[in-house]
């Protein structure tokens, strides 16, 4: 692996989930410009290849992993392959997420509840579980999990999505305390309202051009990923 010698993430190995579009793709592109080697994970090969094109345009390089994160055992196999190839993982970005149907609690279908919990919570736990050894082998392991303001404020009809993000925040806070005496720093990123597909699904009547593009959130992601980050168990908000 050829390593870039310039940039705030020079020579760092970073895995980004949900990297085929939106915030994940924007973070991948920015991390590449900062010198990181990217491992890009998403369900769609075509979307990953589009992100890879932008990563290469930014002067970076990436390893593409088409993977459905709800196939949990595949996460373990991915972690083993990455450990064999790179010997460590420096940065883990858990960005992949889905919006549950916006409906009253009594109308939520069990399959919809399970789907949002599987991706938004359980997949991120499996990522932490699988990559904890590799993060401990890094000189400065960094974990960034993407959350939402919905985790802190209850909205009618948002129960499943909000509960999943609240659970994610508790998961990361607990992990941060467990690794407090190591070189790992684990935090959450709340990007706020952005011009993304998931936002359009939630607010179909909203003019997307009134929202920030995901690229404007990436400086906060870089600050959480770099070796000098001292935050631990915090929610970094990219707005306000």
Cite the active site residues.
161
Write out the DSSP string of 174-207: HHHHHTTTSS-EEEEEE--SBSSHHHHHH-TTS-
Element (H, E) at 47: helix 45-57
For residue 18, CA distances in Å to 4, 94, 120, 232, 238 come to: 24, 8, 11, 23, 19
Rounded-to-integer distance, Cα 79 and Cα 132, Å: 10
CA distance 72 to 76: 7
Query: In three state form, how does the secondary structure of 207-221 look?
Result: CHHHCECHHHHHHHH
- Three-class SS state of 109: coil
Cα 191 vs. chain centroid, distance in angstroms?
11
């Amino acid at each position: 692996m050829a390593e870039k010698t310039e940039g705030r993430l020079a020579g760092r190995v970073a895995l980004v989930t949900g990297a085929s579009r939106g915030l994940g793709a924007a973070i991948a592109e920015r991390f590449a410009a900062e010198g990181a080697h990217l491992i890009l994970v998403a369900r769609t090969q075509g979307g990953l290849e589009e992100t890879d094109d932008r990563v290469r345009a930014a002067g970076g390089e990436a390893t593409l992993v088409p993977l459905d994160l709800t196939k949990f055992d595949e996460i373990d196999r991915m972690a083993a392959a990455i450990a064999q190839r790179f010997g460590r993982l420096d940065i883990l970005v858990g960005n992949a997420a889905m919006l549950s149907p916006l409906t009253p609690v009594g109308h939520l279908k069990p399959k919809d509840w399970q789907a949002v919990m599987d991706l938004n919570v359980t997949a991120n736990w499996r990522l932490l579980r699988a990559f904890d050894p590799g993060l401990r082998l890094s000189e400065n392991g960094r974990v960034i999990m993407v959350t939402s303001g919905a985790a802190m404020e209850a909205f009618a009809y948002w129960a499943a999505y909000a509960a999943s993000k609240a659970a994610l925040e508790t998961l990361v806070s607990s992990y941060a305390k467990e690794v407090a005496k190591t070189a790992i720093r684990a935090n959450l990123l709340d990007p706020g309202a952005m011009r993304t597909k998931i936002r359009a699904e939630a607010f179909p009547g909203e003019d997307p051009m009134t929202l920030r593009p995901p690229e404007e959130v990436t400086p906060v992601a870089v600050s959480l990923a770099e070796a000098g980050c001292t935050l631990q168990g915090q929610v970094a908000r990219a707005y306000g």
